Amino acid sequence: MNISNLSLDNIEMYSHGRMNFMVGLCERLSLPEIFNANLENVLGRKTDIPYGIMAEMMLVNICDDHHPLFRLREFYDMTDLEGIFHFPISPCQINDDRFGNFLDAFYEASPRKIFGEICSTAFTTFGIEMTSVNFDTTSKVMWGTYETEDGKEGVININFGHSKQKREDKTYNGEVLEEVEILLERHNVSKDDFYYIADSALFSSENLAKARKRQLNLITRMPDTTNLAKQCISEAIDYKDSIKSFALKNSKGDTSEYFLLEKECTYENTPLKVVA
């Protein structure tokens, strides 16, 4: 072949550095193996493209140009699929039905469980120490006017999806307590050094009993509506002159004095240490 007459104008250059980086990171975190194990366990079968590879393909797409599922084949056009994902993949295998079924299987296998396993692998692989855990139950709120499809401003219409408010925070905190013990074991964190901190939605006889059974330490706010809370507040007021006091400065340097009554008591057969 005589390359002296070859015109560079007829050569197209493609760089897949970003894709290779993402796949390399996924493989370092054992993401393909984790997806394969969980989804095969749920469905009881393998697919011609492994579940872990499909997960990688979706993540690469999201982190790059973020094409919707029906345009995923277009996204991977002119791409060395086997070279990037280290598995033989034909472009004709890439369609929205396949990846839609993958998402259904992902849901059935519990995304939270899979995410937890991947995070645990990341902590171990990169030597990350877990010092705190944050479970945010806040719902997102939107307001104002937004431009509609015809270019006019109007009120946004959210007609699909479900707010977390469909489940009460007491229920959500109860579900999380069941997972915290597993999380601590994965990261070799002593229960003696761990405190689960939440707002007053955590405070219920069921959640307190659940935490006690698992030997988990809790810090929460007792709702003012409980008789025990009213009793502690009343007692703190009666003994104000003899209880502990301390001062705190805020960000502006202003000092505020606080009086604290500390006592041990019982709520629905669960021993508590209360500060009022």
pLDDT exceeds 90 at position 25: yes
User: Residue 211 in contact with residue 177, Cβ under 8 Å?
Assistant: yes
pLDDT exceeds 70 at position 143: no
CA angle (60 as vertex; 129, 87 as ends), nearest 5 = 100
C-alpha closest to that of 27 among 19, 228, 211: 19
Alpha-helical (H) ranges within 10-157 are 17-28, 31-43, 51-63, 72-75, 81-85, 96-108, 111-125
pLDDT exceeds 90 at position 87: yes
C-alpha–C-alpha distance, residues 192 and 211, integer Å? 13
Residues facing 217 on adjacent strands: 195
- For residue 202 the two structure tokens come to 């955590």
C-alpha closest to that of 49 among 110, 103, 109, 90: 90
Residues facing 258 on adjacent strands: 246
What 3-state class would DSSP assign to 216? coil
Contacts of 10 (CB under 8 A, 6+ apart): none
What local confidence, expressed as pLDDT, does residue 147 receive? 58
Q: Is the pTM of this model over 0.75?
A: no
C-alpha–C-alpha distance, residues 76 and 92, integer Å? 11
What local confidence, expressed as pLDDT, does residue 106 receive? 94
C-alpha closest to that of 198 among 182, 213, 219: 219
Confidence at 118, pLDDT banded by 50, 70, 90: very high
Calculate the average pLDDT of the chain: 81
User: Residue 61 in contact with residue 78, Cβ under 8 Å?
Assistant: no
Instruction: Name the range with the highest mean pLDDT among 96-105, 131-140, 193-202.
Output: 96-105
